[in-house]
Amino acid sequence: MATSKRPDPTGRESPLRDDEFIVTKTDPTGRITYANEVFLRVSHLSLREALGEPHSLIRHPAMPRSVFRLMWETIGRDGEFFGYVCNLASNGDHYWVFAHVTLSRDGAGRLVGYHSNRRKPDAAQVARIEPVYRRLVEEERRHADHRAGLEAGSRLFAQMMRERGVPYDAFAFSL
């Protein structure tokens, strides 16, 4: 997938069992340094295809960029990010996860990368987050300029969370 055009989404779900966890690690630039067998199977990648590639390799076009911006801002402040993500497998299938992303530091406190654990969310949780994400993607795509779209999506995302009276992680856990 990295060396060729991203596949078109098929609309099919790549199976992830309720009892499975996806684990990946990246370097500080977001390039994959570790991927467990579950990640490789569900994303339809070999270890060789995954290692050294940017984690965005599996970004689904239905995912709002504003959610990833929030993730990077959160972990950039040494926070933990919890959130729903729809990923794109190399064959065009998708899979939803509830992700937990954290910084990884060495013994001296230097950033050495990122660690993410993901599990399968309930179908009801996905059904509640999909309309939120759809609205954000529509707002982001409404703008011809990529940067303006991201800014508009981020403003809408913040507004949506203010209207709910909670930060995104609390909203995510409430689903």
Would you list the DSSP string of 47-95?
HHHHTTSBGGGGB-TTS-HHHHHHHHHHHHTT--EEEEEEEE-TTS-EE
- On whether the CB atoms of residues 81 and 33 are closer than 8 A, the answer is no
- Residue 9 inside a domain? The answer is no
- Residue 32 inside a domain? The answer is yes
Number of domains in the chain: 1
- Residue 5 inside a domain? The answer is no
pLDDT computed for residue 6 by the predictor: 83
- Residue 46 inside a domain? The answer is yes
Name the 3-class secondary structure at 52: coil
Whether 3 has a pLDDT exceeding 70, the answer reads no
Q: For 38-89, how does the pLDDT look when each residue is reduced to its tens digit (9 = 90+)? A: 999 999 999 999 999 999 999 999 999 999 999 999 999 999 999 999 999 9
pLDDT computed for residue 24 by the predictor: 98
Question: Any residues with CB less than 8 A from the CB of 36 and at least 6 apart, and which?
Answer: 21, 22, 23, 24
Q: For 108-159, how does the pLDDT look when each residue is reduced to its tens digit (9 = 90+)? A: 999 999 999 999 999 999 999 999 999 999 999 999 999 999 999 999 999 9
Question: Any residues with CB less than 8 A from the CB of 21 and at least 6 apart, and which?
Answer: 36, 38, 117, 118, 119
Place of tokens 């590639």: 53
pLDDT computed for residue 133 by the predictor: 98
The two tokens of residue 55 are 């984690």
Query: What is Dmax (Cα atoms) for the chain?
Result: 45
- Residue 91 inside a domain? The answer is yes
Q: Which domain holds residue 61?
A: 21-174
pLDDT computed for residue 160 by the predictor: 96
CA separation, residue 68 to residues 44, 63, 92 (Å): 22, 8, 20
- Residue 115 inside a domain? The answer is yes
Q: Per-residue confidence at 5, pLDDT binned at 50, 70, 90?
A: confident
Beta bridge partners of 95: 87
Q: Per-residue confidence at 4, pLDDT binned at 50, 70, 90?
A: low
One-letter identity of residue 128? R
List the CATH number of the domain containing 137: 3.30.450.20
- Asked whether the CA dihedral 125, 98, 173, 162 is positive or negative, the reply is negative
Name the 3-class secondary structure at 96: strand
- Residue 54 inside a domain? The answer is yes
pLDDT computed for residue 74 by the predictor: 96
Q: How many whole angstroms separate alpha carbon 108 and alpha carbon 3?
A: 36
Task: Output DSSP code: residue 103.
Answer: E
